[in-house]
Amino acid sequence: IPAGRWGEAEDFKGPAIFLASDAAKYVQGTILTVDGGWMGR
């Protein structure tokens, strides 16, 4: 596990709030991977 621990619901709060905010209004058609670095290993 690259992050050193399993993910918890709290780990998804920030990305979810970002995607629901005006800061992400130009984000379309992409995948935001929230996996603690698992895919980058």
Check pLDDT > 90 for residue 39. no
- Domain limits of the chain? 9-40
**Dist CA 9 CA 23 (whole Å):** 22
29: left (phi over 0), alpha (psi -120 to 50) or beta: left
* Residue 19: per-residue pLDDT: 94
Residue pair 4/41 in contact by the 8 Å Cβ criterion: no
Q: Which pLDDT tens digit goes with each residue over 4-18?
A: 889 999 999 999 999
Kindly report the pTM of this predicted structure: 0.70
Please calculate the CA angle 25-17-29 and round it to the nearest 5 degrees.
Answer: 40
